[in-house]
């Protein structure tokens, strides 16, 4: 039986984060309810059809300087809620880590900062700072597919739990005010803001660097680990909050929320690699490995109940997606999950692939 153990340093470093998480000021029940209703009703995430928009900004500065601290002035043009085209000011800056590096990507991920008080009556009503996930390379079709597959990963997680980020596809035309670059049109997707995701779930967003795994809710942690196994995502940590965040619910529970799935096997990006610390166990990014902790909720019955009942809906997410260049891409995506469903359906497979690989909980 294979077991992996955490370093003792984890236990020593977890206390400050725990204290910080417990000292926050919580809203009243009335405030929770009001904020949840407003977040749930955000117009941006009421539809799934791609939103067309044009972003005009200094793309030369954004693409070449890669300065994450400096925003450039621009405009965003889109169709508002009454059907007419409108143009609003927007501040744009680059963000990210791997994809921010010019040696990895010729086009960086962006953050759009809207004037929140000026967006009433538009699809961006209630929005402020939004992450825009963009193709890493602009001249290769497979990089556009990576965007689709990562977007669909979020849609699958939305089916499994409301404790997840909502996303909206956008067809963006980038116009460079410097005149250096020709207009470029690509699909990307916008992500729900951290605070709005938390408020929608009657929770507060915690900005903490780490947390002891015993502090996080067992059911949500198992679901997060199982979903990550499903899409073969190894590039995350709910202890040190790498590609994960934590929210504190109204009742005091701490829920980890994953994001950033482009290094997963389900996306299978050509730049994705297996994390160095796992290369003795995993040879390729398409290979699955369960990385969450061993918990009482991690049983075949519990997991099968949650996931098996969603299989048809999950497969429909791919079958009904119309932007794939070829129908075979949807078929290939669905086929990739066949191994996952076999593990879900068989108790012996579940023990071999999940229980034998979960990480013992530190004390």
pTM of the model: 0.93
Instruction: Answer yes or no: do 55 and 186 share one domain.
Output: yes
**In a domain? residue 115:** yes
300 is a domain residue: yes
- Asked whether residue 134 is assigned to any structural domain, the reply reads yes
Domain co-membership, 177 together with 213? no
pLDDT tens digits, one per residue of 244-258? 999 999 999 999 999
Q: Tell me if 77 is assigned to some domain.
A: yes
Residues 187 and 222 in one domain: no
23 pLDDT above the threshold of 80:
no
| Percentage of the chain lying above the pLDDT 90 cut | 89
The last residue of a domain, from among 152, 180, 196: 196
Question: 1 lies in a domain?
Answer: no
**pLDDT, tens digit, for every residue of 103-134?**
999 999 999 999 988 899 999 999 999 999 99
Give the separation between CA 334 and CA 340, rounded to whole angstroms: 11
Task: Give the per-residue pLDDT at 317.
Answer: 98
Segment 50-77 shows an average pLDDT of 97
Q: What are the phi and psi torsion angles at 257 (to 5°)?
A: -130, 120
In a domain, 217, yes or no: yes
Last residue of a domain, one of 163, 196, 229: 196
Which structural domain, as residue segments, surrounds residue 287? 8-25+203-355
Q: Please indicate, yes or no, whether residues 192 and 207 belong to a single structural domain of this protein.
A: no
pLDDT at 30 (0 to 100): 97
Asked if 190 and 41 sit in the same domain, the reply is yes
Phi and psi torsions of 349, nearest 5°: -60, -40
- Same domain? 235 vs 161: no
- The average pLDDT across 29-52 equals 97
Q: What's the order of all strands across the beta sheet hosting 203-206? A: 203-206, 244-249, 254-258
Q: Does 360 fall in a domain?
A: no
- Which of 286, 271, 273 minimizes the C-alpha distance to 105? 271
Do 218 and 335 lie in one domain? The reply is: yes
pLDDT-based confidence at residue 363 (cuts at 50, 70, 90): confident
Contacts of 78 (CB under 8 A, 6+ apart): 51, 52, 53, 54, 85, 86, 122, 123, 124
Percent of the chain with pLDDT over 70: 94
Instruction: State the total domains in the chain.
Output: 2
Cα–Cα distance measured from residue 90 to residue 95, given in angstroms and rounded to the nearest whole number: 16
**pLDDT for res 116:** 83
Asked if residues 77 and 87 have their Cβ atoms less than 8 Å apart, the reply is yes
Q: Are residues 153 and 210 in the same domain?
A: no
Supply the pLDDT for residue 28: 96
Domain-located, residue 363: no
306 and 215 share one domain:
yes
Look at 16 and 189; give whichever has higher pLDDT.
189
Question: Are residues 155 and 269 both part of a single domain?
Answer: no
pLDDT of res. 1: 39
Residues 101, 95: Cα–Cα separation, whole Å? 10
Can you give the pLDDT at residue 80?
A: 86
Name the pLDDT band for 274 (thresholds 50, 70, 90): very high
Mean pLDDT of all residues belonging to the chain: 93
Residue 247: other Cβ atoms inside 10 A: 23
Q: Which tokens in the block code for residue 68?
A: 């994450």
Write down the pLDDT at residue 185. 98
Query: Rounded to whole angstroms, how far apart are CA atoms 58 and 98?
Result: 22
Residue (of 234, 42, 247, 16) closest to 125 by Cα position = 42
Per-residue pLDDT of 4-21, as tens digits, reads 444 434 443 444 444 444
Judge contact between 284 and 264, C-beta under 8 A.
Answer: no
Residues 176, 208: one domain?
Answer: no
Identify the domain boundary among 145, 175, 196.
196
Same domain, 156 and 241: no
User: For 223, what's the count of Cα atoms within 13 Å in the CB-facing half-sphere?
Assistant: 23
- Whether the Cβ atoms of residue 108 and residue 66 lie closer than 8 Å to each other: yes
């Amino acid at each position: 039986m294979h077991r992996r153990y955490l370093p003792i340093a984890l236990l020593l470093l977890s206390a400050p984060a725990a204290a910080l998480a417990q000292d926050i000021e919580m809203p009243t029940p009335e405030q929770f309810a009001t904020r949840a209703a407003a977040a749930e009703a955000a117009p941006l995430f009421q539809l799934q059809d791609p939103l067309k928009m044009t972003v005009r900004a200094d793309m030369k500065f954004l693409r070449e300087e890669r300065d994450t601290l400096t925003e450039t002035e621009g405009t965003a043009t889109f169709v508002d809620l009454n059907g007419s085209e409108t143009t609003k000011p927007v501040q744009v800056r680059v963000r990210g880590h791997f994809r921010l590096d010019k040696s990895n990507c010729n086009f960086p991920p962006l953050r759009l900062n809207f004037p929140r008080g000026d967006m009433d009556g538009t699809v961006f009503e209630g929005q402020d700072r939004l992450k825009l996930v963009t193709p890493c390379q602009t001249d290769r079709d497979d990089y556009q597919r990576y965007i689709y597959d990562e977007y669909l990963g979020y849609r699958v997680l939305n089916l499994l739990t409301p404790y997840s980020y909502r996303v909206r596809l956008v067809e963006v035309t980038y116009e460079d005010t410097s005149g250096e670059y020709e207009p470029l049109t690509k699909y990307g997707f916008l992500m729900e803001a951290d605070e709005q995701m938390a408020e929608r779930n009657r929770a507060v967003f915690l900005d903490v660097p780490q947390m002891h795994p015993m502090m996080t809710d067992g059911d949500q942690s198992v679901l997060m680990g199982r979903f990550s196994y499903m899409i073969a995502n190894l590039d995350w940590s709910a202890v040190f909050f790498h590609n994960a965040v934590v929210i504190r619910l109204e009742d005091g529970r701490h829920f980890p929320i994953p994001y950033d799935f482009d290094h997963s096997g389900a996306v299978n990006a050509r730049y994705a690699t297996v994390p160095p610390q796992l290369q003795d166990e995993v040879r390729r990014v398409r290979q699955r490995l369960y990385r969450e902790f061993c918990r009482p909720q991690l049983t075949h019955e519990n997991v099968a109940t949650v996931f098996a009942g969603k299989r048809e809906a999950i497969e429909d997410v791919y079958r009904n997606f119309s932007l794939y260049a070829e129908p075979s891409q949807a078929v290939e995506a669905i086929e990739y999950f066949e191994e996952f469903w076999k593990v879900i359906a068989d108790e012996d497979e579940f023990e071999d692939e999940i229980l034998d690989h979960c990480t013992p909980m530190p004390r």
